[in-house]
Amino acid sequence: MRGLITDWGGVLTTPLKDAIVSWIEADGIDASGYRTVMREWVEQAYGADGAVNPIHGLEDGSLAPAEFERRLADRLRTRSGEAVAAEGLLARMFLAFEPVQPMYDALRRARAAGIRTCLLSNSWGNTYPRELFAELFDGVVISSEVALRKPDPAIFQHALDLIGLPAHECAFVDDIEHNVRAAEKLGIAGVHYVDAESTVARLEQILGVSLG
């Protein structure tokens, strides 16, 4: 095994659900209304037919982040029934993201051991720590920049091409199990991220190098 491909949000950052809880509290969002619209959109975007909807469009770059913010804000209300400001909505949603240092350390150790690394992220208009990319990754694939999104097989192949390795020599880490299964269908060793400790331990087994 010579390659490690990893997601960003929820793997190299603290969980999305924690960031959302912080945002809902800070902006006074009606949580029930948010859950309703997200359940609808996520099921469409990650369902068997991969229906095109705002999440799909945001991730593959066919829908501008500002338009996604407008559409989501239209579906939301505060707990007092007021409208939600669209401008800056995505930034506020992800404001509480924090880096997961054990995963960053594992990436650094993997590269030092000769493992080729690649970021493969479905972007929601996120602000990435691009100043760290040269240190951490041999390749970077951000969905909105390549007009593809996980779980499309083409985006996995693009990542493999960037690091110059076949699928069976690579591992892939993601916190969304659907994406992990999609990678496995291509012959990539999938690791469903639950926490840093168990993920690092599993990657050590797969890659055959010490990452702790």
Cα 123 from chain centre: 7
Phi, psi of 71 (to 5 degrees): -65, -40
Q: Which residues of the chain have pLDDT under 70?
A: 48-51
Strands 3-6, 170-174: pairing is parallel
CA–CA separation, 187 and 170 (whole Å)? 8
Query: Considering the entire predicted model, what is its pTM?
Result: 0.94
Task: Please state, in angstroms and as integers, the Cα–Cα distance from residue 103 to each residue in 2, 60, 129, 198, 204, following that order.
Answer: 18, 26, 14, 11, 12
Beta strand residue intervals within the chain, DSSP E: 3-6, 116-121, 139-142, 170-174, 189-192
Quote the pLDDT of residue 96: 95
The one-letter amino acid at 133: F
Quote the pLDDT of residue 107: 97
Task: Please state, in angstroms and as integers, the Cα–Cα distance from residue 59 to each residue in 2, 103, 146, 180, following that order.
Answer: 28, 23, 10, 17
Quote the pLDDT of residue 51: 67
Closest CA to 9 of 185, 142, 200, 110: 142
Quote the pLDDT of residue 212: 81
Query: Tokens 């991220």 label which residue?
Result: 193
**Domain ranges for the chain:** 3-14+98-207, 16-93
Q: Which helix (H) or strand (E) holds 36?
A: helix 31-45
Which CATH superfamily, name and number, covers 3-14+98-207? HAD superfamily/HAD-like (3.40.50.1000)
Quote the pLDDT of residue 48: 67
The C-alpha angle 81, 82, 86, rounded to 5 degrees, equals 130
Quote the pLDDT of residue 146: 98
**In the beta sheet, which residues pair with residue 3?**
116, 170
Helix 16-27 × helix 31-45 angle, to 10°: 140
